Amino acid sequence: MRLLFNFIYLIGTLVFLLACANQQSSEFVVTSPSGNISLQFQLGDEGAPLYSVQYKGNALIQSSAMGFEFKDQPPLEKGLELVQKKVKSIKETWVMPWGEERNVLNFCNEMVVRLRETEAPQRCLNIYFRAYDDGIAFRYELPEQSGFKELEIMEEKTEFCLTGDHTCWWIPGDWDSYEHLYNTTKFSEIDALSKRNHPSLAQSYIPENAVNTPMTMRTAEGMHLSFHEANLTDYAGMTLRVDAEHLKMQTALVASDRLGYKVKRSLPFKTPWRMVQICPDAAGLIASKLILNLNEPNKLGDVSWFKPKKYVGIWWEMHLEKSGWDMAGGKHGATTENAKAYIDFAATNNIGGVLVEGWNTGWEHWIGFDDREGVFDFVTPYPDYDLEEVVRYAKEKGVEMIMHHETSAAPRTYDQQLEAAYGLMQRLGVHAVKTGYVGKIIPNGEYHHGQWMVNHYRRVLETAARYEIAVNVHEPIMATGIRRTLPNAVSREGLRGQEFNAWSSDGGNPPEHLSIVAFTRMLAGPIDFTPGVFNIKLDPYKPNNQVNTTLAQQLALYVVIYSPIQMACDLIENYENQPAFQFIRDVGVDWEQSLVLNGEVGDFVTIARQERGTGNWFVGGITDENSRSLTINFSFLKDGREYDGVVYRDRDDAHWRDNPESIVIEKMIVDKSMSQTFRLAPGGGVAMSLIVKE
């Protein structure tokens, strides 16, 4: 009798447990508002946290592990039980003070799971999961708990298990630089280590076979995925280690070799979001605002002291070696007289800003020196540059100066001078600075993308904000959407920019470069690419280098590559008597809305953007090394309106190598019923302005 009772009890318990398990697995799903994307969380064998992702019921990311390794503590990756689960929906519209569009919809479902170790020390771990219609994201939280105050993370153990050997567009997981060419290979063929020792990189450290993010992939079924992180705050930058055999990636955080850990934090804290953009078509990747929606709202309030603008500057001439940054070399570019010439040019050509590099002392001791600490001075101009007079002259002409601070990767020297440097800018009424971090970071053992530098870059942004200064960072930490929270983070480099065309030893950026960048680096945020080279062959300064696009593509980049500050980078004499320069005079820099009309990663892309305030539209289309025809359907134009259109397109004989400056400029009246097909040359483009007719 007792046996039977025990047996019935056992069966009953089993049925109950199975019911719980069933209920658990079905309850642990969060689905995007449209229902297309779902993210599933499970506690697997031994209480290991696992997640997977589906699109319309098909697996996109297979069951993948989560967790941490710490210094002086056991790892946190199994032995967990569920304490609580909470779900909520988020739906809000927020306004970008400047951007690709005015209104952004943030619409998702969120699930938080609170976990605890079943055995001592019973540490707690929370995970936030979000499902959007354009991707998924999750982040860890180490909540406040007894006996666990501060920790040193030796590795984050987040996996992304792929469903196939997808086509990938990747750059190596370099801890010091994103300035690599993109590679197009199958996932299993990624070989980051072969990208070591690039002769044109002043700093580069690729410790293992990993990639930097954003990392974009296309599945055999044509789904597009892009992996990146959002809201990188007080944490190390993430690279993704490649496990070719198992078709999976695992987070490999950038370390501090000086401090002997990857991340050090006091509890409670949250990690950055790990995010995957998921789109059936490539164009959707660019349209997505997922990364911004994962960041916190604007903390600065009104930033109307920053005006999106085009700018010219004393810059390209140094890269061409027409002039130099330093004075001792005898051909100093940053003279009062030269600056005034650029200001005059800006004032008469609808260009709002002028950048002057090489204005301050220290450049004699820049690249190639190990003892760069204390060298650059951010308040003292060279004797042939009258800073006060230049700023006064610019004001008189209605032009804003953009300050330049090259730190030479000695951030402690910059930190010491921040308040003085920004105080000077405030006194002068200068509201923008371009910063630079060329070289190996001092102190030794730190890397551009580690926690220590992430915190430096953030401190700079926050300090600049107090002085109403917008920051454009070169050699930055990758954009992770912080511009939503701190809208003085206006632009950054973080890719192989135009400058490589002037001097890289590997032939410059190939014609396909920007048709990959638009679907990879650009997903992270605005790019200071510095388009606008008209003298494509760089005559007479660089007989062995050239820009590997047509002139029409250089124009199209003002629309395709988004930034609220857009340089017209060529020497001002190269813009003289150039009818095509009219496009740069006219083109907007701040947008009411942006539409990605078509695109395939690495092949071509066409974007139309409507200017804020005027209602004018601008269109840019670019292609890779292949000539192709792109059809633009103008149905996005306003009902019942006509537009004065000007087309800047490749002439039939144009070719990026043989005849890059061959361009046709045509006028036409356009309305929304029309569509037009344009032939783009190899390495070519098409640009169009559509001005609302009175």
Kindly state the smallest distance separating residue 685's Cβ from ligand NOJ, in Å: 23
Closer by beta carbon to ligand NOJ, 406 or else 592: 406
CB of 584 to ligand NOJ, least distance (A): 19
Q: CA 479 to CA 523: how far, in whole Å? A: 9
CB 203 within 8 A of CB 179: no
Give the x/- contact pattern for Ca ion in 461-500, rule: CB under 5 A. -------------x--------------------------
Structure tokens at 331: 């051909």
Answer for which of 133, 357, 446, 603 binds ligand NOJ (CB under 6 A) is 357
Residue nearest to Ca ion (CB): 474
* String of contacts with ligand NOJ for each residue 662-681, x by CB under 6 A: --------------------
CB of 548 to ligand NOJ, least distance (A): 18
Alpha helices in 519-669 (DSSP H): 551-560, 581-586
* Minimal distance, residue 437 CB to Ca ion, in Å: 9
Specify the residue, 499 or 611, whose C-beta has the smaller distance to ligand NOJ: 499
Nearer to ligand NOJ, 97 or 436 (CB): 436
- Look up 499 and say whether it is catalytic: yes
419-438 positions binding ligand NOJ, by CB under 6 A: 436, 438
CA atoms of 568 and 426, how far apart (whole Å): 26
In the complex with ligand NOJ, which residue's Cβ is closer, 256 or 323?
323
Part in contact with ligand NOJ (CB under 6 A); list of ranges 384-392, 493-501, 570-578, 598-606: 493-501
Q: Of residues 400, 499, 512, 592, which has the active-site annotation?
A: 499
Name the residue nearer to ligand NOJ (CB basis): 49 or 497: 497
Which residues make Cβ contacts (< 8 Å) with residue 333, sequence separation at least 6? 314, 317, 318, 322, 323, 324, 325, 357, 358
Binding track, positions 137-166, relative to ligand NOJ; x by CB under 6 A: ------------------------------
Tokens standing for 483?
């511009």
Residues 6+ apart with CB under 8 A from 236: 153, 253, 254, 255, 256, 262, 263, 449, 450, 451, 454
Q: C-alpha dihedral over 470, 473, 479, 481, to 10 degrees?
A: -10
Give the angle 171-257-190 at the CA atoms, nearest 5°: 20
CB of 315 to ligand NOJ, least distance (A): 6
CB proximity list for 423: less than 8 A, separation 6 or greater: 467
Per CB under 6 A, which region of 61-69, 385-393, 491-499, 537-545 contacts ligand NOJ?
Answer: 491-499
Report if residue 315 touches ligand NOJ, rule: CB under 6 A. Answer: yes
Q: H-type helices in 505-575, by residue range?
A: 513-517, 551-560
406 binds ligand NOJ (CB under 6 A): yes
CA distance 153 to 75: 10
**Which residue, 313 or 602, is less far from ligand NOJ as judged by CB?**
313
If you write DSSP's letter for every residue of 116-164 in order, what string do you get?
EESSTT--EEEEEEEEETTEEEEEEEE---TT--EEEEEEE--EEEESS
CB nearer to Ca ion: pick between 99 and 436: 436
The strand pairing partners of 135, in sequence order, are 132, 277
- Could you tell me which residues are beta bridge partners of residue 630? 678
What are residue 73's DSSP bridge partners? 70
**Residue choice 198, 248, 474, 513 for contact with ligand NOJ (CB under 6 A):** 474
For Ca ion, the closer CB: 474 or 655: 474
Binding partner selected for residue 436 from ligand NOJ, Ca ion, none, CB under the kind-specific 5 to 8 Å limit? ligand NOJ
Judged by CB under 6 A, the residue of 159, 317, 493, 592 near ligand NOJ is: 493
Contact 674, 577 (CB under 8 A): no
Mutual angle of helices 411-428 and 451-466, in 10-degree steps: 10
CB of 451 to ligand NOJ, least distance (A): 23
Tallying the residues shown for the chain, one arrives at 694
- Pick from 357, 359, 341: which is nearest to 349 by CA? 341
Assess 332 for contact with ligand NOJ (CB under 6 A).
no
- Report how many residues bind Ca ion under the rule CB under 5 A: 1
From the list 52-60, 492-500, 585-593, 684-692, the region that binds ligand NOJ by CB under 6 A is 492-500
Catalytic residues: 499
Q: Which residues contribute to the site for ligand NOJ (CB under 6 A)?
A: 315, 357, 406, 436, 438, 474, 493, 497, 499
Binding site for Ca ion (CB under 5 A): 474
